[in-house]
């Protein structure tokens, strides 16, 4: 009887070993390449990098998951999330009430406001009021673009796909000034002094916002895991180190 029991146990172990173990699908993280230093592609390695890329990787490591990064235009990040093409947005995205209508946001990880920039050869430090009737630029899909349009004081708020495109037109004099994420503009100027633009001194941000990661409304389990990991990273000081690495 004991021999039969041992044989049965051995057979069960063999079957268990032969049963394939299916790896959990990686978390598909949506990023944009235009959000230096939050999200961009390292020209040396051609791999996604940046503070929000490192943060998503740290969260995945904490939860025991793996992460793959899907490069997406900023304005297409939320549609990609709501249609299931990605599982998580980790970019320099503000958690606004309008966006909360369609996605769920994590606890905040960073706070900043907008900046105004002009051509490096332009010595004027404009106020918003002094740009009345001028053409200015902002990135499509950003809260800054919405705020500028609502002011109704410009001849046009020209919308661009990327901050790099705004910088080009400001440098060439096609538009009077550009608006964008302060840390992104400041980082790019510091990395490339010959960029041909400069930040306007004394400019007061129109809006400040809190950067958060986003998940689909039908995925509360992922949101819970993300928030738990963020709490751990804040407590350990690792979150601050991630942002400090990129001058944030």
**Three-state secondary structure along 69-110?**
EEECCHHHHHHHHHCCCCCEECCCCECCHHHHCCEEECCCCE
All domains in the chain, ordered by first residue? 27-109+212-244 (3.40.190.10), 112-208 (3.40.190.10)
And the tokens for 32? 């944009």
**Taking 50 as the threshold, does the pLDDT of residue 20 lie above it?**
no
pLDDT of residue 207: 84
Q: Mean pLDDT, to the nearest integer, of 149-155? A: 96
d(C-alpha 130, C-alpha 134), whole Å: 9
d(C-alpha 101, C-alpha 64), whole Å: 30
Report, in this order, helix, strand and coil percent for the chain, each rounded to 5. Answer: 40, 25, 40
DSSP letter at 51 equals H
**Taking 50 as the threshold, does the pLDDT of residue 193 lie above it?**
yes
- The confidence band for 247, taking pLDDT boundaries of 50, 70 and 90, is confident
Predicted confidence (pLDDT) per residue in 85-126, tens digit: 999 999 999 999 999 999 999 999 999 999 999 999 999 999
pLDDT of residue 6: 43
And the tokens for 99? 């966006």
Surface-to-core class of residue 228, CB atoms within 10 Å of its CB (0-12 exposed, 13-18 middle, 19+ buried): middle
């Amino acid at each position: 009887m004991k021999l039969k029991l041992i044989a049965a146990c051995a057979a069960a172990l063999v079957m268990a070993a032969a049963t394939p173990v299916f790896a959990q699908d990686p978390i598909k993280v949506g990023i944009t390449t235009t959000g230096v230093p939050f999200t961009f592609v390292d020209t040396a390695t051609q791999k996604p990098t940046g503070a929000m890329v490192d943060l998503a990787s740290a969260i995945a490591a904490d939860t025991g998951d793996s992460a793959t990064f899907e490069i997406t235009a900023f304005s297409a990040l939320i549609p990609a999330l709501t249609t299931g093409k990605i599982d998580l947005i980790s970019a320099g995205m503000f958690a606004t009430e309008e966006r909360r209508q369609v996605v769920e946001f994590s606890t905040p990880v960073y706070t900043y406001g907008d900046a105004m920039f002009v051509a490096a050869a332009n010595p004027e430090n404009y106020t918003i009021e002094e740009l009345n009737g001028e053409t200015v630029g902002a990135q499509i899909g950003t809260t800054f673009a919405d705020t500028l349009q609502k002011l109704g004081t410009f001849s046009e708020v020209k919308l661009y796909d990327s901050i790099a495109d705004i910088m080009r037109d400001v440098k060439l004099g096609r538009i009077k000034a550009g608006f964008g994420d302060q840390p992104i503009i400041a980082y790019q100027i510091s990395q490339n002094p010959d960029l041909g633009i400069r930040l306007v001194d004394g400019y007061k941000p129109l809006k400040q916002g809190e950067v958060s990661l986003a998940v689909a409304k039908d995925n509360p389990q992922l949101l819970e895991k993300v928030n738990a990991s963020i709490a751990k990273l804040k407590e350990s000081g690792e979150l601050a180190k991630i942002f400090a690495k990129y001058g944030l």
